[in-house]
């Protein structure tokens, strides 16, 4: 039997970080199955997928050693041990639109999504009654100060032992440091066949350009706006007489279906991101 864990490292860029951490894991008899690191504007981020033989995994020693490295390097180092038999726990980030949230709740209720929604975080309080209707705690986190808002949101995710995050039409951009903490574990839905029309007004842009086929894209969130690895897409034809409001309604229905499909695919644990592209394995 194997023990699996994800390790995230965030902090000011400095030399020797990768070597220090991988050397420690080697001493702890870890097998490093994946490693990705990046520097953005002087900020270092790294995600490591590691595994151990069950009889060689000293959880206490690993946690203590990583905590000491965090202090020495003045960086945030966190480890999450994975439990393959446990149902995944996820958080929903929302703003004001309800269609994706409702579709996800329906899919959970009917057993289409074999995962547990745990908390709803909204940058506006509008969806609190809907969350309560579905017996989910709702936390209003104003986003006027992104640094403080993200810090609060991350505290909530860690407290609830969240495995992955779904942006159910959450209309705020997440910083690189937030994304790195949940690398390829934040699923978004965008109203466009990316990368055609990024940003929040994709339907209007498509309408104004006379687009004949409108689509939606579900993707993992990366540090570049609406450019993350694509999980699922779908589209519909636009009739010449179709007004904008009808396009929006049709698009929102499609968004909900494709987002649910993407979460299903994620939960199969058969997705891998290779050089920025999602592949089924």
248's CB contacts (< 8 A; 6+ apart) are 203
Q: What is the H or E stretch that residue 263 is in?
A: helix 244-267
The reply to whether 13 belongs to the active site is: no
Is residue 44 packed enough to be buried (19+ CB in 10 Å), middle (13-18) or exposed (0-12)? buried
Please pick, among 13, 74, 116, 226, the residue that the annotation labels catalytic.
226
CA atoms within 13 A on the CB side of 11: 17
> How many Å apart are CA 65 and CA 121, to the nearest integer?
33
3-state helix, strand, coil in the chain (%, to 5): 35, 30, 35
Q: 124 φ, ψ to 5°?
A: -130, 155
Contact 153, 121 (CB under 8 A): yes
Both tokens of residue 176? 């690189």
Q: Token pair 């991350």 is at which residue? A: 154
Q: Sign of the C-alpha dihedral, residues 258, 233, 49, 225?
A: negative
Residue 8: other Cβ atoms inside 10 A: 18
**Residue found by looking up tokens 């089924």 in the block:** 280
Residues labelled catalytic? 226
């Amino acid at each position: 039997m194997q023990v699996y864990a994800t390790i995230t490292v965030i902090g000011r860029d400095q030399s020797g970080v990768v070597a220090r951490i991988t050397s420690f894991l080697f001493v702890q008899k870890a097998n490093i199955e994946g490693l990705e690191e990046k520097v953005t504007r002087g900020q270092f981020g790294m995600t490591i997928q590691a595994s151990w033989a069950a009889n060689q995994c000293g959880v206490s020693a690993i946690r203590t050693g990583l905590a000491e490295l965090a202090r020495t390097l003045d960086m945030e180092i966190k480890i999450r041990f994975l439990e393959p038999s446990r149902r995944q726990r996820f958080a929903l980030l929302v703003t004001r639109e309800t269609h994706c949230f409702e579709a996800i709740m329906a899919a959970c209720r009917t057993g289409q999504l074999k995962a547990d929604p745990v908390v709803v975080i909204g940058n506006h309080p509008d969806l609190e009654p809907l969350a309560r209707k579905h017996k989910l705690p709702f936390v209003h986190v104003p986003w006027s100060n992104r640094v403080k808002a993200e810090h609060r949101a991350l505290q909530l995710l860690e407290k609830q032992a969240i495995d992955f995050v779904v942006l159910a039409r959450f209309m705020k951009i997440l910083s690189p440091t937030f994304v790195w903490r949940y690398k390829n574990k934040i699923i978004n839905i965008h109203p466009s066949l990316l990368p055609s029309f990024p940003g929040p007004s994709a339907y209007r842009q498509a309408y104004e350009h006379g687009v004949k086929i409108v689509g939606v894209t579900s993707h993992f969130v990366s540090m570049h706006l609406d450019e993350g690895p694509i999980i699922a897409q779908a589209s519909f034809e636009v009739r010449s007489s179709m007004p904008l409001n009808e396009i929006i309604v049709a698009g929102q229905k499609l968004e909900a279906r494709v987002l649910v499909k993407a979460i299903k695919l994620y939960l199969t644990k058969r997705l891998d991101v290779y050089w920025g592209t999602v592949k089924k394995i």
